[in-house]
Amino acid sequence: MKDNRRDFLKKAAIGTAAASFGGVLPGFSPKSYANIAGANDRVTVAVMGVNSRGRALGNNFALQKNCEVIYISDVDRRAAAKCISSVAKNQGNKPKAAPDFRKALEDKDLDALVVAAPDHWHAPAAILASSAGKHVYLEKPCSHNPHEGELLVKAVEKYKNVIQMGNQRRSWPNVVAAIKELHDGAIGKTYMARTWYANNRGSIGTGKKTSVPSWLDYELWQGPAPRLDYQDNLIHYNWHWFWHWGTGEALNNGTHFVDLARWGLDVEYPTKVTSVGGRYRYKDDWETPDTQTIGLEFGDKGTITWEGRSCNGRTSDGGTVGVVFYGEKGSLQINGGNEYKIFDLKNKLVKEVKNDTNFVEGDLMNPSQALDAHHIQNFFSAIKNGEKLNSDIIGGHQSTLLVQLGNIAQRTGRTLDIDPSNGHILNNPDAMKYWSREYEPGWEPKV
């Protein structure tokens, strides 16, 4: 941590907007931002999709003194107005409304697009922004399907821009330290990671086809997805549970901790993928599993499991979310916060690293504002001076692909054999039908 702080002070002294450590995060000492050399060299951003998580992101970006939010884009004019008001209070000036984010992309003074719209929009919006010469902060999952993830990798190669996925724990200091402990051999050879998510989500009921509300541009909300009639239990949030627009709990929450597991085990693509589960708790319109276990094998390197329980919030190892790594000499556990524990083989706690920066479990909008500023600042530093991204789009695609493959195994009811060199499904035409999707004519993402 001392080295990180020395690096930060050195960069600040030469006018670089570097990663923030030591009391310069929102919620700590905001006034100290004004003393950072180069703080006025701001990154200008537009935020797309601001009903819930996007509004939190918009305000977090606005709180960064080396950033200015200049556009808010949302197809729900109520959500847009609310976000414009809160962002204006946080940064002191009012961003413009751009209901269609593509209009914001036409502004030559715009540096980056923050994408927090529904999953079916993630990759197409990021590709459009890339082709317009903009950088992208892309909420997880980075794509709706594996083909889109590969397109994102091609986009960065073609347009030479910065795309950072929003798996923010890649930048949380104590999580970074925990993974370093693993790689330095704290528990010996690490060969298994178990991850989980638990919640008590209620039924979404049976939707009724109805007229589109006056406050919603449903045509633009659907965007690249083939057109379906509007129904009253879809917007907002419940789209997560429909395959047409969403990707289920596996990508909604599983991506975060499967990403940590992949990072800790230092693996890329699997050799075999399995999944069991279903929609068990309620009889309603919910299509994706509410209960699911995904198994990922990486040859002789190890294995990752993810357990998702959307309708039973019973904790596991003391947390509703987390990952436990198992190795030759013990285990290492990371739950939802910026902290970790190491145990020996006799389950004795041998090390505990705590942090008093809060992570609020169950807060869908903004569970970790101060910690996430580390990730945002890393994004800015990559734009301004080429600093290495903590979560570049190659790694973002690899982690997203793991849970996408889990969903494909679930939907086909088959074990998938995978090419470990690129993550492609082997000898399974039925599974490959889910590699991409159909698009509304004229909306197909292209690089």
Q: Is residue 440 part of a domain?
A: no
- The C-alpha atoms of residue 414 and residue 292 are separated, in whole angstroms, by 14
At residue 72, φ and ψ (nearest 5 deg) are: -120, 125
pLDDT digits 0-9 by tens, 213-271 = 999 999 999 999 999 999 999 999 999 999 999 999 999 999 999 999 999 999 999 99
Tell me how far apart the alpha carbons of residues 129 and 377 are, in angstroms, rounded to a whole number: 20
Residue 19 pLDDT: 32
Quick one: pLDDT at residue 355?
85
Residue 442 lies in a domain: no
How far is the C-alpha of 155 from the C-alpha of 427, rounded, in Å?
A: 28
Cα separations in angstroms, 106 against 33, 49, 129, 447: 30, 18, 10, 18
Question: What's the start-to-end Cα distance of the chain, in Å?
Answer: 40
Same domain, 130 and 185: no
Q: What is the CATH number of the domain that holds 32?
A: 3.40.50.720
Band (40; pLDDT cuts 50, 70, 90)? low
Say if residue 77 is in the same domain as residue 103: yes
Statement to judge: residues 111 and 200 lie in one domain: no
Q: What is the pLDDT of residues 378-387, one digit of tens each?
A: 999 999 999 9
Do 381 and 266 share a structural domain?
no
CA 57 vs. chain centroid, Å, equals 12
Report pLDDT for 37: 33
User: Are 153 and 182 members of one domain?
Assistant: no
Q: Is the pLDDT of residue 6 over 50?
A: no
How many helices (H) and strands (E) are present in the chain, helices listed first? 13, 15
Does residue 178 sit in the same domain as residue 298?
yes
In a domain, 95, yes or no: yes
DSSP state of 434: T
The pLDDT, as a whole number, for residue 360 is 53
- Number of separate domains in the chain: 2
Residue 52 sits in the same domain as residue 190: no
- Residue 185 belongs to a domain: yes
pLDDT digits (tens, 9 = 90+) for 61-82: 999 999 999 999 999 999 999 9
Could you give the count of Cα atoms lying within 13 Å of 391 in the half-sphere of its Cβ? 33
For the chain, give the percent of residues with pLDDT over 70.
Answer: 88
Provide the residue range defining the domain that includes 109: 2-170+375-385
| Mean pLDDT, range 348-360, rounded to an integer | 81
The pLDDT tens digits of the residues spanning 396-418 come to 999 999 999 999 999 999 999 99
Answer with the one of 385, 412, 442 that is the final residue of a domain.
385
Asked whether residue 445 is assigned to any structural domain, the reply reads: no
Q: Read off the tokens for 10.
A: 């050195």
> Of 395, 393, 399, 384, nearest to 19 (Cα)?
384
Which pLDDT tens digit goes with each residue over 124-154? 999 999 999 999 999 999 999 999 999 999 9
Model confidence at 20, in pLDDT bands (50, 70, 90)?
Answer: very low
Residue 12 confidence (pLDDT): 33
Sign of the CA dihedral with 245 first, then 250, 251, and 253 last: positive
Is 319 part of any domain?
A: yes
Q: What is the pLDDT of residue 41?
A: 84
User: 316, 310 in Cβ contact below 8 A?
Assistant: no
Tell me the pLDDT tens digit for each residue of 91-117.
Answer: 999 999 999 999 999 999 999 999 999
Q: Which of 380, 162, 419, 386 is nearest to 269 (CA)?
A: 419
Which of 22-36, 157-171, 314-328, 408-422 shows the lowest mean pLDDT across its residues? Answer: 22-36
- Do 313 and 409 fall into the same domain? yes
Instruction: Answer yes or no: do 121 and 27 share one domain.
Output: yes
Tokens of 429: 């035409």
Do both 297 and 360 map to the same domain? yes
Specify the pLDDT at position 358.
59
Confidence of residue 369 (pLDDT cuts 50, 70, 90): confident
What integer pLDDT is reported at residue 52 of this predicted model? Answer: 87
Reported pTM = 0.89
What would the mean pLDDT of 34-41 be, rounded to a whole number? Answer: 45
Strands 291-297 vs 135-138: parallel, antiparallel or unpaired: unpaired
Q: Is the residue at 428 inside a domain? A: yes
CA 114 to chain centre: 12
Which of 357, 385, 413 finishes a domain? 385
**CB–CB of 270/276 below 8 Å?**
no
pLDDT at 22 over 70: no
- Stretch 167-172: mean pLDDT: 96
CATH number of the domain where residue 286 is located: 3.30.360.10
pLDDT in tens, 294-311: 999 999 999 999 999 999
7 plus 36 within the same structural domain:
yes
Give a yes or no: residue 447 inside a domain.
no
Whether residue 359 sits in one domain with residue 258: yes
If one compares 29 and 402, the residue with the highest pLDDT of the two is 402
Mean pLDDT of 429-442: 98
